[in-house]
Amino acid sequence: MNLIVENLTKSYKDNVVLKDVNFTFDSGKIYGLIGRNGAGKTTFFNSINKDIDIDKGQILLDDIFTNNIDINDIGYVVSTPNVPEFLTAKEFLTFFLEINKDKIKDKKTIDEYFSMVDIKKEDQNKLLKEYSQGMKNKIQMLIEIIIMPKVLLLDEPLNSLDVVVQDEIKKLLKSIKKDRIIIFSTHILEIAMDLCDEIVIINNKKLEKVEKKDLDTKKYKDKIIKCLKEDRNV
């Protein structure tokens, strides 16, 4: 399975964010999408997820155009988690499993699901509004994992998390990457190097693959630092 991006172009009025982007993502890999704040990482994800209209180009999952891809084929975890805070974690998960029972393959028990993201029993009956951002991120990640989408988009999900939670989520992602494409956006090179199989940078409004071995060279380190230097919002 491949996610194929062909000639993707997206502008906001006169501001061209992505221009003639061409790239192929292969299943079974975690891709680190690196770029400064404002480089177009979220715009790229929103284009794949059909949250915005693109100006030009197409996105294919194998030979299926993105507009015809089943909604369950793409999962999207945003950097700021959005969960129903008036429910407990167990109430929310129970509700989610019930309404998606016909879509879930290899269904597990609630306890098994909570165990996957290391949410302990004493926390399962807490209201989600009492959860930290890291805990909410775990719940959001768990929901996408339960559906098991073919493509999982992660928009800086490890931001502001402590190192213990970061490590738990990294291990979880590595355990589920088989037979799916995971694209993990970040502006922190160390996280991408530790987690990802492939490194891709957004440079001059395009996507460019960088071999991990090349990241030891001054040329590519300088190039990535230059890409990360600016701090603007797009």
Q: How confident is the model at residue 225 (pLDDT cuts 50, 70, 90)?
A: low
- The answer to which of 8-22, 53-67, 77-91 has the lowest mean pLDDT is 53-67
Q: How confident is the model at residue 232 (pLDDT cuts 50, 70, 90)?
A: very low
Distance, CA of 164 to CA of 157 (rounded, Å): 14
pTM over cut 0.95: no
Phi, psi (rounded to 5 degrees) for 148: 55, 60
CA-closest candidate to residue 46, choices 8, 4, 1: 8
Q: How confident is the model at residue 233 (pLDDT cuts 50, 70, 90)?
A: very low
- Helix and strand totals (H; E) in the chain: 8, 10
Which residues 6+ apart lie within 8 Å of 100 measured at CB?
146, 147
**What confidence tens digit (pLDDT) does each residue in 27-39 have?**
999 999 988 777 7
Residue 110 has pLDDT above 80, yes or no: yes
So what's the pLDDT on residue 194?
85
Averaged pLDDT, 84-97: 94
Mean pLDDT of the chain: 84
Residue 66 has pLDDT above 80, yes or no: no
Dihedral Cα 168, 72, 199, 38, nearest 10 deg: -100
**What confidence tens digit (pLDDT) does each residue in 205-222 have?**
899 888 776 666 666 666
CATH for 2-84+151-229, options being 2.60.40.10, 2.40.50.140, 3.40.50.300, 2.130.10.10: 3.40.50.300
So what's the pLDDT on residue 134?
80
Q: Identify residue 147 by its one-letter amino acid code.
A: I
Which is more confident, 91 or 163?
A: 91
Where helices occur in 100-217 by DSSP H, the ranges are 110-116, 121-124, 133-147, 163-176, 189-195
Which is more confident, 39 or 8?
A: 8
Q: Are 142 and 117 in contact (CB under 8 A)?
A: yes
So what's the pLDDT on residue 4?
92
Q: How confident is the model at residue 173 (pLDDT cuts 50, 70, 90)?
A: confident
Q: 């959860």: which residue's tokens?
A: 131
